[in-house]
Amino acid sequence: MKLCIIFPPLPFGWTPVAPPSLEYLAALTRRADPDIEIELISASADPDAIDRVDCDLAAISILTPTAVGGYRIAEKLRARGIRIVFGNMHASAMSEEAKQHGDAVVIGEAESVWPEVLRDFRAGRLKPFYRGEQIPLDDLPTPLYGLLKGKRRHQFRIVNTSRGCPYNCTFCSVRLFWGSKIRFRPIDHVVRDVAAVPEKMYINGDENIWWTGKAQRAIDLFTALKGSGKKWMGFGSLGPVLSPAGPRMLKAARESGLLSLWVGWESISDEGLREFAAGSKIGVDRERAVKTLRDNGIDVSLFYMLGSRHDSLDDFKRSVELADRLGVSMHPSLVVPYPWTMLREQYEPYIYKGLGWEYYTGAYSLFEHPDPAMTPEVREELFYETSLELLSLKRVFRHMFKVPRAGFPHAHILSLMSQIPVRHGMKIAYKKWKNERRTVAEKRFIT
């Protein structure tokens, strides 16, 4: 039996980050049935690979912006007699939809059901749905690094140390997928997986590298990773930075190799934070928290959303001013009301039903705005103007010289490596948007 595990093409082209679901699901497969031949495909890195696929079963991992691409791949493979199983967040949120394009759907986490999926397939009795449980994370295998091939090399692997999120942000589906309780992996298992990463730099893929009230666990993890000899970046909230344990936590993080923190700034305005219920994650003084991170030698990139029903035209300009004031890189997206989220429920009456999932990339206006000046086209044009200004070569290189000296030279190289591909992808997206804007405008009014 041969299994092909596929990650569909990303909307803005290739990125240097290996999709973690590929190598991890390969490890689960090897553990469940060592006799299965495994092939991994990241369609962004190797677009022609789908035409060469020759397997018995294809597992396709879909997120909302990659769902339509995943369904198209499934149609091609099913026409050649290959069975299809879907998984990941979009398949879990829209399981009935995914089932229309495949033979089976894994809903939720795969660990508790993946061996059953493989056994059922071998026995010719694949069920339409498999519901994974949220089990303890004390026996996860190390991803099978080295199986992922392609025309373009992935420079970063993702290592996860926990699952779950106690925050209740209205725009996010993570809590619904992973649960509200934080489940931690044993620290020695994390150290083992980091040691197995073939590169000298990796990404901590947790929703948060430190949680409010869990600072000691973060300190213990960072201390254990101090001897890895590897540099890393991760995602973190600002609230714990200014907590009493913050200084010890930041010191341990830097000593463990942390170079750069990606922070959810979420909204430029306080009204937007309230709308998104993100205040508890952000903390009481987010600008001071960013300055504290930089003072501790950690570079910061802020991710935030524009164009919500509470946002104004001024917010686009204010975000550029904020980047200059804080000395950080900033990466905006337009607000996306993803399936499963509270925000989608709130915005449901205003959503443009004619726009399919392929438009849920953060680069399209997906709902009506109460301000007549905030037309969909105006929001999209301002989004691209803002993004391309923040990613201008002048700003990218200027930011590199603002990266804390404590991270030299790795953090400075990383700053370029993380922004240049995004800039390239944004330029591709902008060109595509200009070519299809009339078609998109027409689709918005399809009911």
- Domain of 84, CATH number, reads 3.40.50.2300
Is 45 part of any domain?
yes
Is the Cα dihedral 147, 151, 154, 155 positive or negative? positive
253 — phi, psi (to 5°)?
-65, -45
Residues linked to residue 3 through DSSP beta bridges, in sequence order: 38, 57
Instruction: Please indicate, yes or no, if residue 200 is contained in any of the structural domains.
Output: yes
Residue 327 vs residue 80, higher pLDDT: 80
Q: Residue 12: which pLDDT band, with cuts at 50, 70 and 90?
A: confident
**CA neighbor of 204 nearest in space, from 232, 180, 223, 239:** 232
In a domain, 352, yes or no: yes
- Give 148-202 as a DSSP string: B--SS---BEEE--EE------TT--HHHHH-SS-EEPPHHHHHHHHHH-SSSEE
Q: Per the structure, how many domains does the chain have?
A: 2
How far is it, in rounded angstroms, from Cα 370 to Cα 398? Answer: 37
| CATH classification of the domain holding 338 | 3.20.20.70
Q: Is residue 358 part of a domain?
A: yes
Q: Are residues 111 and 205 in the same domain?
A: no
* Rg of the chain taking only CA atoms, in angstroms: 22
Does residue 271 surpass a pLDDT of 90? no
Question: Domain check: are 208 and 281 in the same one?
Answer: yes
Q: Which of 131, 166, 183 is the last residue of a domain?
A: 131
Is the preceding omega at residue 409 within 30 degrees of 0, hence cis? yes
Q: How far is CA 374 from CA 312, 351, 436, in A?
A: 8, 15, 20
Euclidean distance between CA atoms 260 and 283, whole angstroms: 19
Q: Are 379 and 334 in contact (CB under 8 A)?
A: yes
pTM, 2 dp: 0.94
Tokens found for residue 71: 């369904």
Boundary residue ending a domain (131, 147, 168): 131
119 with 178, same domain: the answer is no
Of the candidates 26, 326, 10, the one whose C-alpha atom is nearest the C-alpha of residue 148 is 26
> In terms of domains, do 398 and 315 share one?
yes
Helix ranges (H only) for 256-375 are 270-276, 279-282, 286-295, 314-326, 342-347
Range of the domain at 7: 2-131
Instruction: Dump pLDDT digits (tens) for 372-394.
Output: 999 999 999 999 999 999 999 99
Verify that 312 and 371 share a domain, yes or no. Answer: yes
109 with 214, same domain: the answer is no
Supply the pLDDT for residue 14: 78
Does one domain contain both 124 and 248?
Answer: no
Find out whether 83 and 58 touch, Cβ atoms under 8 Å.
yes
| pLDDT tens-digit series, residues 207-265 | 999 998 999 999 999 999 998 999 999 999 999 999 999 999 999 999 999 999 999 99
Are 209 and 326 within one domain? yes
pLDDT at position 153? 73
Are residues 260 and 342 part of one domain? yes
- For residue 393, how far is the Cα from the chain centroid? 24
pLDDT above 80 for 34: yes
Are 249 and 126 members of one domain? no
DSSP code string of 407-438: GTTHHHHHHHHHHHHHHHHHHHHHHHHHHHHH
Whether residue 331 sits in one domain with residue 182: yes
CA 132 to chain centre: 21
For 84-123, what is each residue's pLDDT tens digit? 999 999 999 999 999 999 999 999 999 999 999 999 999 9
Q: Could you tell me which of 363, 365, 339 has the C-alpha nearest to residue 441? A: 365
Structure token pair of residue 235 = 């995602």
- Nearest 5°: CA angle at 24, between 19 and 29? 130
pLDDT of residue 151: 65
Average of per-residue pLDDT across 183-200: 97
Task: Provide the pLDDT for residue 39.
Answer: 97
Q: How confident is the model at residue 149 (pLDDT cuts 50, 70, 90)?
A: confident
CB atoms within 10 A of CB 115: 15
Q: Tell me whether residue 290 is in a domain.
A: yes
Residue 383 lies in a domain: yes
Identify whether residues 113 and 184 lie together within a single domain. Answer: no
- Does residue 178 sit within a domain? yes
pLDDT of 414 reads 81
Mean pLDDT for all residues in the chain: 94
DSSP 234: E
Residue-wise pLDDT tens digits, 398-433: 888 888 887 788 888 888 877 888 898 899 889 989
Polymer length in residues for the chain:
447
Does 304 reside within a domain?
A: yes
Segment 185-199 mean pLDDT: 97
Q: Which residue has the higher pLDDT, 145 or 149?
A: 145
